[in-house]
Structure 1
Amino acid sequence: MSDLERFIKHRPDSGQWTILDYIVVGGGLAGTTVAARLAENYEVTVLLVEAGSDNRTDKIVYDIYAYSQAFGTDLDWAWPTDQGKTIRGGKTLGGSTSINGAHYTRGMQAQYDAWTTLLEISAADAGWDWEGILGYMQKSEAFSAPNSQQAAKGAESVADYHGLSGPVQVTYPDAMYGGPEQPDFINSIVNLTGIEHCPDVNGSGSNCVLMTPLTIDWHDSDHRSSSCQAYLTPVESQRTNWLTLTEHLVRNSNYLVEHRKRTASGIEFAPSSGGSTRYAATALKEKIVAAGAIQSPALLQLSGIGDSSLLNSLDIGTNLDMKGVGRNLQEQTMNSLGAGGNFDYGGEGPSDCIAYPNIHQVFGCNKIALQVAVDHNWAASQSASADSQAALEKIYEVQAGLILNGNAPIVELFYDTGYPECQLTGFGIDLWQLLPFSRGNVSITTTDPFTRPAVNVNYFGVGWDLDVQVASVSTSLSTGETVPGTRVPNTNGNFGSDQDWKSWILDPSVGLSAICGICEIHELSSKGVVDAQLKIYNMTNVRVVDASILPMQISAPPSATLYGVTEKAADIIRASN
């Protein structure tokens, strides 16, 4: 019996409704994790609805060496943006954890501690800081320390930083690269910038260069340990109280908010392929919106929760006028440099060597650049409305302080064997700008839920962000570079002018990103969307649990942090019900 047949069979009558305790919208990292934890209580029922398919047996998902092959397929949301760049996101069970690069690193302690400064004073002790999140990150993790062969290739770890009994497998590749390339990258970065070579980035500080673990399962031929593989696969035959429906999209706003009563009655959903078939469900306890940083704000807007001016323009009744829904979009933009080589890779990978330099290590003693960073007039160049300007200024102030006074890493330099220069001995460096000040937005353009929302990225709307990207490229460049090659002319020993680099970086075909911040946890008075309990302000039973709640980026890929946030969210939900 399929999951859909199970759903239909368990309807209490021939009508459209079935009754459950919890409904979770979105089967990505957050949705799968919170559904699994709620379903540990066999006395409650949980419905998880995912727009994508269950692709756990597809090699481009489970084989970590097939990374990037899912891009541009049905497993990828592939959101278009106003600047021509495509944003990748997993449209499959497990979400982006099923198609990402799988690197497991955390941000620095001060960045988590800063979240507390953005909450209402009465909620400042809610545990949204390093001390309150670290244990939950460890709870999600089953870390396997490097074996002797991996240690000989440079892999290290600090046992106290990690959890050992969680669902998500974290370790080093069994066939990790053993050639000279990764140690040479570390040594070069240390010599060039003065950055520290540390054994493990998953403690309280990330301003260093090191070899990093990945979310892979060494018990299973280095297969990907996605959220669904970690939280669902081991228990799906036992948890009869947990129903997962894939290939269905939550589509109708009428059921999420009931007649402005501040209580959500349920959801209506339909096959992701379209058509006229409709199903509906209601939850006795709570609805958890975990559709991701782009689809979650779109769903709220479809449900009458958002900026009333947008909703009115689409003839959607305003249930909650919340200006913050869909705003404060911030992305970690990426570019790649490539070069040829003449060495033996010494293994299969994946690559697992990353540097996280701070502002001084990127710009050196460039006083002009540092003065630009001190200037707090960033908000003037934003697309933010006047009523959210003060909130944005506050976030900027916190983030600028972390960069200037806390040595927060501003860029990730990821050594990448075999990419983007794909010769047998080619390699590259992928550069992510980690802490952008530019802000974009997400907004629906129609009441049709099958139409992707408009994503206005506003990349480099603040000039400082582009300066960081250019400086990072310059820090990483060496002779022998082939990507971007002649697109950035090399003349008289000068590796391209700033303007040449800016033109290349701004090319729509260049770059990827990671998103957060558009249903953010923040003071209501500062246009926040959810409170410290992750409930939508002025709603009684709807929470948002995914990357969209993070008020600002951290200096790391998001997965490790989001596992901790979601584990904490599950405990919050269980404690209140």
Structure 2
Amino acid sequence: MMTVRGTAADYDRWGAFFGEKSHWSWDGVLPYFKRALNFAPPDAAVVKSANITYDTNFWGNTSGVYAGWPSFQFPGTTAQMDAFRGIPGVPLVKDSGSGEPGVYWYPTFMDPVRVERSYARTGHHDKAVNRTNYHLVTGSKVTKVVLNGTTATGVSFVPVGSGLPNPTSAQTVVNARKEVIIAAGGIHSPQILQLSGIGPRKLLAAANITTIVDLPGVGQNFQDHPMIQASFMYRSFNVHPNPQDLFMNATFSAWSDKVWAANRTGPNSIATGNAAAWLPFPIISPRAADIASALASQNHTLYLPADTDPTVAAGYRAQMLSYAAALTSNATAFYNLVLTGGPTNGIVVDLHPLSRGTVTIDPRDPANREPLVDYRALANPLDAAIMADIVRFTRRYHLDNPRTKPWGATEIEPGAATQTDEQFRAWLAETLSPSEFHPVGTCAMLPRTLGGVVDEELKVYGVRGLRVVDASIMPTLVGGNTCQTVYGIAEKAADLIRFGPPKVAG
């Protein structure tokens, strides 16, 4: 899994919704990024051969979860990175953790000794199994937060089958001495709150659930990274060895298998790859100012569900105005292209979609059905315009770039016939994947007047003794994979729980 944070501006944006004195900012989260991961530098020989750069000042070395590197890189990856030098204005950044947009190398969640996935289980859970204050219950699902009035006192849960609760099973209740902390993610945290009577009153009434706290933002503000299929193939990728050529070569394939079996090195140690471009919108689009102006002047409520609460609509407007400024700035990355190292490339990502979806319990049988997830992709028409320019820039990189011209790229998808915004909109409606499996925003950390669900201490508004600590609290998506950010949120939450909010100068 890619170990990427996004830009400093992504985290400053979160705090800006609360004001200048917020402790949610780049400076307020960087120490927790460093605490959350143990950085293992790449092998010196690979650094030299691939021209990998990194800066350990942005990383820590105390966590049980590792950010590591493979022991091999295909030369094509370095060539594809260097090809961005053929486009004026594209920055090449020394380290992925610096908070700067640009083209850079990044590690993956990998144990450098075992050369296998490093994550919460290997870094924390397995080590905590024998602790007397740690109990992990598997094969079960929380049904609701137990409340005494508006105070959380515990949770109830039941066994599951096929991922759903068993309606005939007896509820087991675990009581909390201090607090209840929900960490069920962008889809299921809002579901648990809604099942507990915390959420939009109209939704809860339709599901025959008594409203304990009318909190309209629960399940609103749903976001994910949409993936766009912009495929290109090189006719003469004269950079060897490259993956496709070599893995069809019996000698190379046999060597790869041999060194992997002997000491877990070589090409088989590569997971998802380690290089990508994360670029600001002014670099990829000549009409950044026009799109930003159009976004700022929108009647934003028109692009939300018809019955959206005014506080949620106010929060959406605040986000769109923040994005309007970001679209003309070089501080926020809107474009992502992962580099394959081989003669094909196919996926680009819109890092800050403007459309917002919903996650709600199913009123027909809320306790025994999965929640209803509506991405509402492309609901804001400017998303299609932004994605059109994302594809246009990808064409420029492959087809109108002196560094890539010798490779003889051919566009496979969407094809040369797709040129106008209207044509792109029709193509996206048929091909866009609304998810990169990064669901966030449904228990947003925002002021309550902006449709927020939790405050800056991650406490649920209107409820005592209840916090949410997971991706659902992100008010806006970060310009990168969400896993490292979730780890940083968890580390920061631990300090908030133990010590309360930090003092911020100013």
TM-score of the pair, normalised by structure 1 = 0.73
Partner residue, 2:277: 355
- Relative distance call for 1:531 and 1:302 in structure 2 (3 A) is same
Q: How does 1:46-85 map to 2 (within 5 A)?
A: none
Partner residue, 1:550: 474
Partner residue, 2:429: 506
Partner residue, 1:133: 29
Aligned-partner SS, 2:81: helix
Give the gaps of 5 or more residues in structure 1: 1-101, 418-424
Aligned-partner SS, 2:52: coil
Q: CA deviation at 1:140?
A: 0.8
- Relative distance call for 1:458 and 1:248 in structure 2 (3 A) is same
Is residue 192 of structure 1 aligned with residue 84 of structure 2?
no
| Distance of 1:140 and 1:406 partners within structure 2 | 28
Offset from partner CA, 1:120-168 (integer Å, 9 cap, x none): x6xx645211111100110011001122122021322112111111122
| Distance of 2:36 and 2:146 partners within structure 1 | 30
Partner residue, 2:138: 246
CA contact (8 A) 1:358 1:407 kept: yes
Which one of the candidate residues 341, 347, 351 is aligned to 1:430? 347
Q: CA deviation at 1:551?
A: 0.9
- Relative distance call for 1:529 and 1:471 in structure 2 (3 A) is same
Offset from partner CA, 1:170-208 (integer Å, 9 cap, x none): 022223x2222x122222233235211111121132x21
Give the gaps of 5 or more residues in structure 2: 244-266, 400-407, 502-506
CA contact (8 A) 2:198 2:214 kept: yes
Q: How does 1:457-536 map to 2 (within 5 A)?
A: 457-477=375-395, 478=398, 484-485=412-413, 488-490=414-416, 496-507=419-430, 510=433, 512-513=435-436, 514-536=438-460
| Distance of 1:156 and 1:307 partners within structure 2 | 49
Offset from partner CA, 1:472-517 (integer Å, 9 cap, x none): 11211346767754xx4435xxx65544443332226745332211
Q: CA deviation at 1:426?
A: 4.9
Q: CA deviation at 1:212?
A: 1.2
Aligned-partner SS, 2:66: strand
| Distance of 1:372 and 1:510 partners within structure 2 | 25
- Relative distance call for 1:358 and 1:509 in structure 2 (3 A) is closer
- How well do the aligned residues superpose, as a CA RMSD in angstroms? 2.4
Offset from partner CA, 1:71-99 (integer Å, 9 cap, x none): xxxxxxxxxxxxxxxxxxxxxxxxxxxxx
| Distance of 2:323 and 2:290 partners within structure 1 | 19
Partner residue, 2:103: 209
CA contact (8 A) 1:193 1:362 kept: no
Q: CA deviation at 1:370?
A: 5.1
- Relative distance call for 1:323 and 1:373 in structure 2 (3 A) is closer
- Relative distance call for 1:460 and 1:288 in structure 2 (3 A) is same
CA contact (8 A) 2:296 2:320 kept: no
Partner residue, 1:115: 14
Task: Point out the more displaced range, 140-149 or 404-413.
Answer: 404-413
CA contact (8 A) 1:416 1:429 kept: no
Offset from partner CA, 1:417-438 (integer Å, 9 cap, x none): 5xxxxxxx65314211111111
Offset from partner CA, 1:420-463 (integer Å, 9 cap, x none): xxxxx653142111111111111111344341111111111111
Partner residue, 2:114: 220
CA contact (8 A) 1:169 1:225 kept: yes
Partner residue, 1:233: 126
CA contact (8 A) 2:96 2:104 kept: yes
Partner residue, 1:174: 71
- Relative distance call for 1:508 and 1:268 in structure 2 (3 A) is farther
| Distance of 2:68 and 2:471 partners within structure 1 | 24
Matched residue type, 1:111: D
Matched residue type, 1:220: R
Which one of the candidate residues 322, 331, 356 is aligned to 1:439? 356
| Distance of 2:472 and 2:372 partners within structure 1 | 16
| Distance of 1:395 and 1:511 partners within structure 2 | 19
- Relative distance call for 1:389 and 1:154 in structure 2 (3 A) is same
| Distance of 1:220 and 1:158 partners within structure 2 | 23
Q: CA deviation at 1:277?
A: 2.5
| Distance of 1:468 and 1:155 partners within structure 2 | 31
Is residue 317 of structure 1 aligned with residue 207 of structure 2?
no
Aligned-partner SS, 1:157: coil
CA contact (8 A) 1:141 1:163 kept: yes
| Distance of 2:6 and 2:298 partners within structure 1 | 24
Partner residue, 1:12: none
CA contact (8 A) 2:151 2:463 kept: yes
Partner residue, 1:405: 329
Matched residue type, 2:112: W
| Distance of 1:332 and 1:483 partners within structure 2 | 23
Q: CA deviation at 1:377?
A: 3.6
- Relative distance call for 1:508 and 1:474 in structure 2 (3 A) is closer
CA contact (8 A) 1:155 1:212 kept: no
Is residue 143 of structure 1 aligned with residue 143 of structure 2?
no
- Relative distance call for 1:196 and 1:256 in structure 2 (3 A) is same
Relative to total residues, which structure has the larger helix share, 1 or 2? 2
Task: Point out the more displaced range, 454-463 or 472-481.
Answer: 472-481
| Distance of 2:476 and 2:35 partners within structure 1 | 23
- Relative distance call for 1:375 and 1:193 in structure 2 (3 A) is farther
- Relative distance call for 1:218 and 1:401 in structure 2 (3 A) is same
| Distance of 1:202 and 1:442 partners within structure 2 | 31
| Distance of 2:384 and 2:370 partners within structure 1 | 28
Partner residue, 1:21: none
Is residue 454 of structure 1 aligned with residue 380 of structure 2?
no
- Relative distance call for 1:285 and 1:209 in structure 2 (3 A) is same
- Relative distance call for 1:395 and 1:129 in structure 2 (3 A) is same
Which one of the candidate residues 269, 287, 294 is aligned to 1:372? 294
Offset from partner CA, 1:3-44 (integer Å, 9 cap, x none): xxxxxxxxxxxxxxxxxxxxxxxxxxxxxxxxxxxxxxxxxx
Q: How does 1:154-169 map to 2 (within 5 A)?
A: 154-169=51-66
| Distance of 1:267 and 1:127 partners within structure 2 | 30
- Relative distance call for 1:481 and 1:518 in structure 2 (3 A) is farther
Q: How many residues align?
A: 452
CA contact (8 A) 2:182 2:469 kept: yes
Aligned-partner SS, 1:455: strand
CA contact (8 A) 1:150 1:172 kept: no
Q: CA deviation at 1:307?
A: 0.5
